[in-house]
Structure 1
């Protein structure tokens, strides 16, 4: 099993095609001195689209240590550790350009996908973005959204969604769970790799991942909203408006975290099997969005029966949306880079372009949290629209 994902082989092939052609023609990133960018030897660039909201985006990194429990994958390492990227509404012109990922994190992700040495890690590391490190915040009280990545992936693969939410007026906590990504850098110079990926082999073992992440999330919420918060800008967080979204097993973790922590008022699963994370009696009527591929996996009656089971157990506001042409990684930044490097997938005639995939993910996840955490009406969630024909509303 690849450490990059426990899911779609087609997604891995798509990622490979993004990166195996250093001579591909590319679209240049948006020109702006504040944006970070990098190139391969052939001049290729990758860049995220600008957020649509009114705010600039700041980011700070937090190292958190939960001394109440040992790490579940490497008990000898001691206490459970997390890296948390905090994205927030910021003042324009403050801070410094933020790196998409460290070069070593990018190198490990590429190597894990079997692409080490094909494309310089600097290309992925320097992906253009609109995030400013240590920017001054725009004072106010904002809903908090926690993000959790797929198994083996790093939280930086959800940067496009994180910066969109922050630009719309949310605080975002994107969690890197120790030993569950290809590589996560820690402040003391350690690089923790995916030990969990070498240990998980059965469905029972896989189900332990969201259960552990639920504990991670509750600990992060304690440290962000407690009497002695770990973040200097914690007063930006409205403690009564907290949501969570995740990709793949991170989506299952959103349901698991909600089941164990009533502070989380709304959740989103982006294309992940639930692994029985929704209890038989549901989530106390709290709203949940199921947002996935419109294929034989996540449409009603598809191969992943956990979606039908979760749907039946959810008793509050809920939507089951699938996206025509999407692949497993369409809900992350990865397919966008495929397009920008100019390398089509084998099924390019029927697959959703990466830029459009990110646009839809931003639109629907953002609309969901606007409705559930800000009580702003978003007709986008009422039913199909001609402007978004790829999105299918399912009502099993």
Structure 2
């Protein structure tokens, strides 16, 4: 496979979140080979299922005529055996809309839907009392863009619920052949947009938790979840909403923000464990986004602030790794596969320490194995 995506492709995310990214996506070509995700490193086979959840008590925040909030959620979990077909990375329609939205040309529009994953659809779950991690993607991005992290956590014994925040991505496939497109993009530059999206996503996550851990769960295997051990990991706009979700939902015990600005300032004190991982320059102290400096000072509990040398905003998703499967990273850039490895490692360590009470020396300071991870104090 030749270059599938380019690092300049995430221009919409950059525009909306004021994150540095330059250049437009040029035309690219492909040999037609199928891209593949790296294998997870945990001991478990990974299962995957998709849920359609409907909140009849809340109108959609972006489309006024829709009187209910519909969400698509992908669940990854440890499975007993590799039975069934491989899970889709995303649907063909979602692939087409994402590639068109990012102005990627020269590749089949269904290319991303053919990306090879490591999870098996509806495989029987394995284990009991498993921690739950909710994933929230970036604005305009589908939940599938974080699949390599989802599969990794599931292989290590977590249930992972990745949420598509409807009408905030280029395309979300809904039941009945319906497709929701990015209605929120029309107001992305409006005053207060970041705060509205942050709070809306927090409401989405709380609803998902209700449907996974309540008395009548939407997933038939929800009994494997331990409702007392819940964390949240978000990328970009999803990262922006992680801390706000924790402030408004005590069930979420620990959180990770991957390169998202804090659109809503936190109160003067925030005491639950929180990990911030950011792109070089943008997220360094005194960098382009000052919200990290501001809210870091208000965190009174366990906290870490890392920047990844050579990274850009897209480094926290699958896209650089898919891009570089046959095209090396540019000089000085964090290679996609290495970025996946580091993000998997530090996210897993953080969740293991705070949801499983397994101390992780990796989080104490710089590591010679991962010199790209720069600690700030």
TM range (shorter): over 0.9
> Which of 276, 281, 288 is residue 274 of structure 2 equivalent to?
288
Residue 92 of structure 2 corresponds to residue 83 of structure 1: no
Cα distance in 1 between the residues matched to 2:59 and 2:69: 5
Deviation at 1:270, TM superposition (A): 0.1
Cα distance in 1 between the residues matched to 2:11 and 2:215: 41
SS at match of 1:265: strand
Cα distance in 2 between the residues matched to 1:186 and 1:289: 33
Residue 145 of structure 2 corresponds to residue 157 of structure 1: yes
- State the match for 1:36 in structure 2: none
- State the match for 2:333 in structure 1: 351
Residue 100 of structure 2 corresponds to residue 118 of structure 1: no
> Which of 342, 355, 368 is residue 373 of structure 1 equivalent to?
355
Change in Cα spacing, 1:9 to 1:378, as seen in structure 2 (3 Å) is closer
Encode CA deviations 1:23-46: one digit per residue, 9 max, x unaligned. Answer: xxxxxxxxxxxxxxxxx5x23331
Encode CA deviations 1:339-364: one digit per residue, 9 max, x unaligned. Answer: 114264xxx11100000001111000
Cα distance in 2 between the residues matched to 1:203 and 1:333: 30
Cα distance in 2 between the residues matched to 1:203 and 1:351: 33
**TM-score normalized with structure 2 length:** 0.94
- State the match for 2:299 in structure 1: 314
Is residue 46–residue 341 contact of structure 1 (8 Å, CA) maintained in 2?
no
- State the match for 2:133 in structure 1: 145
SS at match of 1:322: strand
- State the match for 1:274 in structure 2: 262
- State the match for 1:21 in structure 2: 28
Encode CA deviations 1:125-167: one digit per residue, 9 max, x unaligned. Answer: 1111101111111131100000000011000000010000000
- State the match for 1:29 in structure 2: none
Residue 98 of structure 2 corresponds to residue 109 of structure 1: yes
SS at match of 1:358: helix
- State the match for 1:28 in structure 2: none
Equivalent residue runs for 1:1-396 within 5 Å = 3=12, 6-7=16-17, 11=21, 13=23, 16=25, 20-22=27-29, 40=30, 42-115=31-104, 117-282=105-270, 285-295=271-281, 297-342=282-327, 344=329, 348-395=330-377
Encode CA deviations 1:225-277: one digit per residue, 9 max, x unaligned. Answer: 11011111110110000000000010011111101000000000000101124
Deviation at 1:92, TM superposition (A): 2.2
Deviation at 1:281, TM superposition (A): 2.8
Cα distance in 1 between the residues matched to 2:22 and 2:112: 16
Change in Cα spacing, 1:308 to 1:63, as seen in structure 2 (3 Å) is same
- State the match for 1:30 in structure 2: none
SS at match of 1:74: coil
Cα distance in 2 between the residues matched to 1:258 and 1:306: 17
RMSD: 1.7
Change in Cα spacing, 1:302 to 1:203, as seen in structure 2 (3 Å) is farther
Is residue 19–residue 313 contact of structure 2 (8 Å, CA) maintained in 1?
no
Change in Cα spacing, 1:277 to 1:67, as seen in structure 2 (3 Å) is farther
The answer for unaligned runs of 5 or more in structure 2 is: 1-9
Change in Cα spacing, 1:160 to 1:90, as seen in structure 2 (3 Å) is same
The answer for unaligned runs of 5 or more in structure 1 is: 23-39
Cα distance in 1 between the residues matched to 2:154 and 2:23: 31
Deviation at 1:168, TM superposition (A): 0.5
Encode CA deviations 1:92-118: one digit per residue, 9 max, x unaligned. Answer: 222211111111100000000112x52
